[in-house]
Structure formats: structure tokens, C-alpha cells
Structure 1
Amino acid sequence: MIDFSILFEDGEALVIDKPAGLPLDRPRAGGDSLENHLDALRFGFQREPFPVHRLDRDTSGCLLLARNPKALKRFSAAFEAREVEKVYLGIVAGEVTGEKGTIDLALSKVSSAEKGWRMIPARKGKPALTHWRVVARKPGLTLVEFRPETGRTHQIRIHALAGLGHALVGDPVYGDGKGAWRTMLHASDLVVPRAGKAPIVAHAPLPLDFDAFGFELPDAGA
């Protein structure tokens, strides 16, 4: 059993710090997944919690689980209506030009026998909008904060490549897969508004593999 860090908990919601490398769904080839741990995450509740949104296998950080069907429906609607505030940190494999901006590139899914499926920028694709700002720099690397307004598959990963000119470190699909054992993307913050009650607010601290890159963070020691 994975000892998940619980970032937020009440009667209708649970936010866990999902470790990198853990897929949400059971892999076809077998192996561990979040599905295997949902029963243990009931914590005495009648139902297993259910993931409201998606995080890639490699992505660590804030994952919202709903504890009942009504909550799942409300939270899903909030994501759909772009009311949810999502903040990610990613290590870009290059020196990003500029300090902040917005990437507005529609995305479409393509598939080939050689490369499998991936997302590409396409005029007739689904709208995808990501705000970004540089957090810290090192020679050949940039730590970037991403705030996606939409929630397209691989949105931040392809927006980093197509919008900033460099893929994320370790990304085997949009980059060269080098520099890290996984795609360096972390869901650091999540805020979900709720009618009539306080919002869900969660923060996932940077994991050790991010710290190992040694970026000088502006709020370090604050």
C-alpha cells in the first residue's frame, strides 16, 4: 500500500499527492495503479472515492477524488466550466525566451503505427489555453509555472514544446526522454470553488526529484 499524502479532506472530497509513475487506470500489461488503492482511500466511507480529473502516469501532485456521485458531478462541472484553478510546475529542457505569456494553440490527437498516438497543434483542433511564467533558470533549463485554463490531454507537454520551443525534461513523447526518469511535471496547487461552502484548496510540495535539479526558488526559506 502506498502511503499517500492527504492534502485536503472533508465529507465530499479528498485530494491526494499522487506519486510520479503511478497510472490512474490499471495498465494492460499489468502492474500497480491508483485503482488498486481506492479501497484503502475510503477511510471508513461507504464508497471508494473516484478521480474527478486526469493526471498522466508521470505527473505528480494534486489529484482530486470525489467521495460520492453528487460531489463527482458538481466537481466535474466545475472543471468543465473552467472554474478550477490549476497550477503546475514543469522543468523545460531549454532556456525559455521571455518571463511570462499565454499559449493559445488548439490541439488535435493523431496516431501512427511507428510513434503511437500524440497531440499536435491544429487549427481545427480543440481549443487549449495555457498561461505561463518563469520561476527560476539554470544553464540549459527553465523552471516554469503553468496555469492551464483548459484540460486537454498532454496540454502542458505539447504547449511547452510548441509554445515555448522546448519539451519538458524527460518527456519521451514530445522530447528526447533524457535528463530524468520521468516527464518533469508536477501539479502543485488546486483550488475548486464550491457553492455555499469553502473552496477545496490543496498544495503539493515539490517532490525530491524536482529538488535534485537545484533551482534557486524565489520563496525559498520564506
Structure 2
Amino acid sequence: MTRQDASFLPAFEHATPRNAGQGVVYSDAALLLVNKPAGLLSVPGRGEDKQDCLARRVQAEYPDALIVHRLDMATSGLLVLARGKAMQRRLSTQFANRQVDKRYVAVVNGLPPLASGEIDLPLAADWPNRPRQKVDRLAGKPSRTRYQVLSHDPFANTTRLALWPDTGRTHQLRVHLLAIGHPIVGDGLYAEAGGAACGADARLLLHAESLAFAHPETARPMAFCCPAPF
């Protein structure tokens, strides 16, 4: 039985969930698409206070659901889970081979000088300040983010961006935007480095808006869009 809480359109046409805040937005025998809320871990963390997470909530209804990729706790948006280990391997291969198209939306402080651009800066763990990451031109892993300005609010001095991470490093979008002087609004983790305005919003204004990939069982092109709640 296939459940579709979203209108699903094939051939990379966008499918927008009608109930964007209601959790599972698409499911079939091979996979699940879930809209993760901000403030919820993707998988369990260390300690009893970090056991509540999206994976366990989904597994309460779908016991065979397995995580394929993750979103930061502070980030909301679309997340794929596989139904069983075989589907997990196939979907994980697509992510590892960069065959999945991912688009994020963010609101940042200031206005980038270009309407679109690319941020190519290597990233590494900031070990004394974990879980923070940092730009490390000597030991960092190659990391690239493309961006496009969608709109600018001159009164708040904020800009809405579309973001395409070509690599999937931890906190990549947050650190890359901070590095070019336009930190994401509401980013409390990097607020000290980015200035007081970083923590100006109640949540991190970063949302995984769309995903496109091949169905792991049929190879059929699939695409989903879940608009940002901000």
C-alpha cells in the first residue's frame, strides 16, 4: 500500500506536501520522505536526554525504516529513510556518488555582493570547540556550495538564498556562509563568530526544501519539494 500525503509527480516535477508539518509526506514499500522539524535530532545522540529523534519516531510506525542521510538538529526539511537494508544500500550509494539533487533555503544577514556564486572552502572539525566546524585550508576536506539570491529585505538587512551543496560536510552551509560574512539568521552555534545578529531568530533559518533522486527499486526519477516554514 502506498501512502501519499503529498501530491507526487514523476519525471522531476515538484511535489509539494499538502501537510508540510505533519511528518511523513510520502511512503512506499522502498522508502519514506519525512519533513523533519527544527530542533529534532535525526538519530539518537549521546546521553539519555538525546534519545528522542526523527529515526525513532518514524520507526514507531515503520519498524523497517533506516536512516540514509542526516540533517543538523537545528535544520528542518526533507529527509529520506529506506525501508530495509537493501534499499538503504541503494539510496546510500546515490548520496555517496552525488547523484541526489539537494536544494536548501536560508535567510542570511546582509546582502552578498553577487546575485549568485560559489563558495569553495575546505572544512574540518574545530576540535577544541566541537561540534563546531571551521575553514581549514591545510587539513580540511574539499567542500563546495552554490548559492543564488532569491530576495532581499533592506529593512531587516537579510537575504533569502537558495543553496546547493555539491558536497555534504558537517555544518557545510552554515560555515560557508559565515566564512563569506553572511551567517544564517538564528544560528546560535556560530553566533559568537558571526556577531550578535546570528542569534536574532528563535530558530536557525535553514530548510532542506527539495530532493530529487532515482527510486531505489524501479530507478524512476522522483522529486519532492517542501516549502520552508519561514
TM-score between the two structures when normalised by the length of structure 2: 0.80
For the 8 Å contact 1:7–1:202, the answer to whether it is kept is no
Separation in structure 2 between the aligned mates of residue 22 and residue 182 of structure 1, nearest angstrom: 12
What corresponds to 1:216 in structure 2?
none
Aligned counterpart for 2:203 among listed residues 182, 193, 196: 182
Separation in structure 2 between the aligned mates of residue 166 and residue 158 of structure 1, nearest angstrom: 10
Alignment of 1:4-43 (within 5 A): 4-27=22-45, 28-30=47-49, 32-42=52-62
Q: Tell which has more relative contact order, 1 or 2 (C-alpha 8 A, sep 6+).
A: 2
For the 8 Å contact 1:186–1:206, the answer to whether it is kept is yes
Q: Where do 4+ consecutive residues of structure 1 move more than 4 Å?
A: none
Alignment of 1:1-222 (within 5 A): 4-27=22-45, 28-30=47-49, 32-42=52-62, 47-112=63-128, 115-123=129-137, 124-139=139-154, 140-163=157-180, 165-175=181-191, 176=196, 177-194=198-215, 196-207=218-229, 210=230
Separation in structure 2 between the aligned mates of residue 117 and residue 34 of structure 1, nearest angstrom: 20
Deviations 1:41-85 (A, max 9, x none): 31xxxx431121010111111000000111111111111111100
Q: CA deviation at 1:29?
A: 4.9
AA in 1 matched with 2:115: E
Separation in structure 2 between the aligned mates of residue 11 and residue 33 of structure 1, nearest angstrom: 22
* Structure 1 unmatched runs, 5+: 211-222
Aligned residues: CA RMSD:
1.8
Q: CA deviation at 1:193?
A: 2.2
Q: CA deviation at 1:121?
A: 1.2
Q: Quick check: 32-41 or 96-105, which moved more?
A: 32-41
Identify the structure with the greater strand proportion: 1
Deviations 1:189-219 (A, max 9, x none): 0011247431232111221xx1xxxxxxxxx
